[in-house]
Amino acid sequence: MKVRSDVLLAFASDRGVRRIENQDDVLIYEPSDDEVFLARGRLLALADGMGGTVAGAEASRVALRSLLASWLDAPQGILRDGELAERLRVAFAAAQRALDEAAADNHRLDGMGTTLTAIVQRGPRVVGVHVGDSRGLVINEEGARWLTTLHTSALDSSRLTRALIARASGAADHEFAEPEIFDTELESGDRLLVMSDGLWRAIPESEGLAIIHSCPPREAVAELVGRARAIDGSDNASIVVLEYRGHDAEGAPEDVVESAVTERLPRLTAGRGPGRFGVAWPWVLFVLGLLLLAIASWLWWR
């Protein structure tokens, strides 16, 4: 997929070193039609399947597919900022219904869940919906500005209090997770980040900010995910970075591909050379062998 020159966009995702599968999923959608793009903007989303429940990977993928399908079904024409938020809320509800339907079709999926953070960026305007413990923020020369809050228990920071949870019995028997709505304005040079908890929990905030400031988005996402793997690696880690360049930025559309995460190997250190005994022990064995042979010969000829 190609993105227009008003942004630099990159993403990366890694399953870590302890998980057997990657339950994170990332969505990036940009209309190819210029009129539709001006009316709708681009859609970014990240879903983190809940590892403590069944089918976390399936939950994140179902949620993002349904979110996109609902977004594409929106009425044609330019949407005002308030209408963008409402359309995102409708798409969010569609993701919840899709999880319920999947669980109703397959009871083994009952209880699967996922976080969901979805953002529409149209020019400098950003509108988003959020539930769970992924994080969204804007970074610039003045520092970081958080866009989302953490929906976790005060007693246990790893326990989600709000997420999309599939119920095989249907939506009538449980309440939808009401999303948090947020919006902001970007200035040229601002970087918008969305990242799963497997990344932001692993990397100290000061180190993460330093990496973001030090290199372009494509290199930054690979470095951040690689650092999360090296520091912790116990969870899936995913991130999307969008750098806003302004509507008048020049350049041809560029392909967006997942940045490759470099496998970080432990540093190799020079081993110690053999000590004195290590050098001498073959000669000791040789002399001992000759001595035993001499004793055996003497005993034979007596």
150-202, pLDDT tens digit by residue? 999 888 887 889 999 998 875 555 567 789 999 999 999 999 999 999 999 99
Least-confidence region, from 66-75, 162-171, 278-287 = 278-287
Where in the chain are the domains?
A: 2-255
**Amino acid at residue number 172:** A
CB proximity list for 139: less than 8 A, separation 6 or greater: 145, 190, 191, 193, 209, 212, 213
Give the predicted TM-score (pTM) of the model: 0.84
Residue 283 in this model has a pLDDT that exceeds 60: yes
Averaged confidence pLDDT in the chain? 87
Q: What confidence score (pLDDT) does residue 215 get? A: 94
Residue 275 in this model has a pLDDT that exceeds 60: no
User: How large is the average pLDDT for residues 228-237?
Assistant: 95
Distance of alpha carbon 47 from alpha carbon 61, whole angstroms: 8
The residue whose two tokens read 């692993």 is 202
Q: Give pLDDT tens digits for 82-129.
A: 889 999 999 999 999 999 999 999 988 998 999 999 999 999 999 999
Q: What confidence score (pLDDT) does residue 262 get? A: 67
Q: What confidence score (pLDDT) does residue 75 get? A: 75
**Amino acid at residue number 196:** S
Tell me which residue of 43, 72, 101, 26 sits closest to 259, measured CA to CA: 26
User: How large is the average pLDDT for residues 134-156?
Assistant: 93
pLDDT band of 53, cuts 50, 70, 90: low
pLDDT band of 288, cuts 50, 70, 90: confident
Percentages (nearest 5) of helix, strand, coil residues in the chain: 35, 25, 40
Give just the sign of the alpha carbon dihedral 151, 56, 25, 12.
positive
Residue 221 to residues 80, 218, 250, Cα–Cα distance (Å): 32, 6, 23
Q: What confidence score (pLDDT) does residue 172 get? A: 53
CB proximity list for 262: less than 8 A, separation 6 or greater: 222, 226
Tell me which residue of 114, 113, 66, 111 sits closest to 90, measured CA to CA: 66
Fold for domain 2-255? Phosphatase 2c; domain 1 (3.60.40)
Tell me which residue of 1, 13, 2 sits closest to 240, measured CA to CA: 13
**Amino acid at residue number 228:** A
Least-confidence region, from 51-65, 139-153, 195-209 = 51-65
